[in-house]
Amino acid sequence: MKLNKKDLLFWNQLSNFLSQFFDLIKLQDEDKFVFVTAFTHKSFSNENNNCPHNDYLEFIGDGVLQFIVTDWILDNHPQWGARIS
């Protein structure tokens, strides 16, 4: 994929912003990978050498959210039990 000047400028600005942001929040290298992966859509990955994308993180997040909500419901509304459909 060949980038025009406008695209190159965007990617350069994004790279500079992320570098400053990571320095500001003192993000470790292994966390930077997860951060960038979280914001990478599968379609972008397919078009850019199959870089890591956020599908797996979305799957894990859905499971964690379901666990937390279920735990809250059981703690706060035990009368509901397993009858909820």
Query: What is the residue extent of each domain of the chain?
Result: 32-69
State the pLDDT at residue 84.
Answer: 55
CA distance linking residue 68 with residue 50, whole number of Å: 32
Could you report the per-residue pLDDT of 35-48, keeping only the tens digit for each? 889 989 999 888 88
State the pLDDT at residue 33.
Answer: 87
Q: Is the model's pLDDT at 5 over the cut of 90?
A: no
CB 50 within 8 A of CB 37: no
Q: Residue 35: how many CB atoms within 10 A of its CB?
A: 15
Regarding pTM above 0.75, the answer is no
